[in-house]
Amino acid sequence: MDRRAILLAMKDVLEHLGDCYDGWPAAEHTKSEHLLATLMKRDVDRMRQLCELLERDPANSSSGRRMAVA
């Protein structure tokens, strides 16, 4: 997965997290709150995975790109 694809995936995850957060006040039932919490935990885990992808591959990091140019 290249840097651009990772950043786009991060953007999607953040948007979904925001949607879940915005929906929280409308959640009237414990089941709805549980679903939103589950979705948000999944999103946080996915964001962690995407961050690790950026860290692992020096070609994806901005410092790695600068080093490659130098």
Residue 36 CA: distances (Å) to CA of 8, 16, 24, 40, 61: 22, 11, 7, 6, 32
Query: How far is Cα 41 from Cα 23, in angstroms, rounded to an integer?
Result: 15
The first and second tokens of residue 29, run together, are: 């039932």
Structure confidence by residue, pLDDT tens digits, 20-38: 999 989 888 899 999 999 9
Number of domains in the chain: 1
What local confidence, expressed as pLDDT, does residue 61 receive? 60
pLDDT of 68 > 60? The answer is no
- Domain assignment of residue 7, given as a range: 3-69
* Cβ atoms < 10 Å from Cβ of 40: 16
